[in-house]
Amino acid sequence: MRYVRRLSVFCILLFAVCMSNPPIAAYAANVPRDFSEGLRRVNTESQRYLVQVFSIPNPENPKGMAGGSGALIRSGGGVVRIITNAHVVGQAQKVMVHFEGNGFAQEVAVLGIDTAVDLALLEAPLPLPFFAQPIAIAKKAVNVGDAVYTAGYPFGNKNFTFGAITSLSSPFAQTGLDMFNSHQSPVAPGNSGGALIRFTDTGEQELVGINTAIISQSGGQVYLSIRASVIDRMLVKLEQERSVSHPFMGIALADSDKVNPYAIKSAGGVYPPAVHGITVIGVKKNSPAERAGIREGDIIRKFEALLDGQWFELPVVKAEDLAQTVFFDLAPDIKVRMQTNRGSQSIGREFILEIQPSLNAALGEG
């Protein structure tokens, strides 16, 4: 049975960490030559950007305390910011953060929350500790096999692990909207919001993700981190909006040549489709798309959005590109229309985008 667990501090996981020390295949002069050296450096240098986060996610339950991790990502020009997960913060407007070696934790404001992406942006405590220095958000995408390290506070205890990027996607890729990389650098409850780190070619540490969730299946585990590109893309909105929302269609999309043939046939669709396009592989019950009559197996041939009284056509080439354009660039309450093929029929559909549920709901949690 597959299930997804939040990195909550209220459950206990045991991880067996291999003590072998495999060499890193390629390195420059300042890049760690093995994982042991990398761990030592992350342990030493992460003090400048790693924080522990304390919160009361539900103000109506002041005894319901939670904890997680965060990373200092900006410090300059009067803007000092920490990134963490939205589920660490919950509904709190203020949380406490602590830099190790800097005395007591300090209360800071929650500037913006995006529950659909599971990100929260915090003010950093002022004045900053003299040793504090932000970690850069990676501009270069990761590759499978890249050596990565996690830094965080599982079970409230600072801890570091190592591993590698194992996939540039996650099980969420099946929906057409995937914001995660998968890796095998073990994380545990309390790592939420903590940094996934890579060394650059010049030996600097950079943020390639925020550790967010664990997927378990048949005893195996995959760890998910929100991609650096998504974090970078969301920072402006998190600065400007206290609560960030995204549009919701209620459909899962895939490129026609990547769908499960039997899934399409069982839904009454035609496989292979008469034309190549973007295939609807799932429709959420009582969603805008379902109410408009869209069904599993429909092929999207055209997609338009009504903006300022004019219809604008969105490219319909790849499922992931269309899903991300709708999610990031459109907004709830916008009317959209699709031209779809169902067998030999060509059908037009219109509906109004609603608000995307939180990532907790997407993961099957309340």
Helix (H) or strand (E) holding 94: strand 94-98
d(CA 172, CA 170): 5
Per-residue model confidence (pLDDT) at position 342:
86
Per-residue model confidence (pLDDT) at position 15:
34
Q: Phi-psi bin for 219: left (phi > 0), alpha (psi -120 to 50), beta?
A: left
Per-residue model confidence (pLDDT) at position 126:
85
Per-residue model confidence (pLDDT) at position 198:
98
User: Judging by beta carbons within 10 Å of its beta carbon (0-12, 13-18, 19+), is residue 90 exposed, middle or buried?
Assistant: buried
Tokens of 358: 């939180």
d(CA 7, CA 17): 18
Helix (H) or strand (E) holding 37: helix 35-45
Provide the 10 A C-beta neighbour count for residue 50.
26
DSSP state of 184: -
DSSP state of 319: H
Q: Radius of gyration over alpha carbons of the chain, in Å?
A: 22
Per-residue model confidence (pLDDT) at position 360:
59
| H-state helical runs in 170-308 | 228-240, 261-266, 288-291
Domains of the chain, first to last: 1-244 (2.40.10.120), 247-362 (2.30.42.10)
Burial 302-315 (b: 16+ CB within 10 A, else e): ebbbeeeeeeeebe
Global pTM reads: 0.86
Per-residue model confidence (pLDDT) at position 95:
96
> 101 by DSSP, 3-state: which?
coil
d(CA 225, CA 144): 14
Provide the 10 A C-beta neighbour count for residue 351.
19
pLDDT tens, per residue, the chain with 366 residues:
444 455 444 333 333 334 344 444 445 668 898 999 999 999 999 999 999 999 998 888 878 888 999 999 998 888 899 999 999 999 999 999 999 999 899 999 999 999 999 999 999 988 899 999 999 999 999 999 999 999 999 999 999 999 999 999 887 766 677 899 999 999 999 999 999 999 999 999 999 999 999 988 766 788 999 999 999 999 999 999 999 999 999 999 999 888 888 877 877 777 887 778 899 999 999 999 999 999 998 999 999 999 999 999 999 999 999 999 999 999 999 999 999 998 788 999 999 999 998 865 554 433
Which residue has tokens 């996939």?
Answer: 167
d(CA 52, CA 32): 26
Per-residue model confidence (pLDDT) at position 274:
74
CA atoms within 13 A on the CB side of 2: 7
Burial 138-151 (b: 16+ CB within 10 A, else e): beeebeeebbbbbb
> 293 by DSSP, 3-state: which?
coil
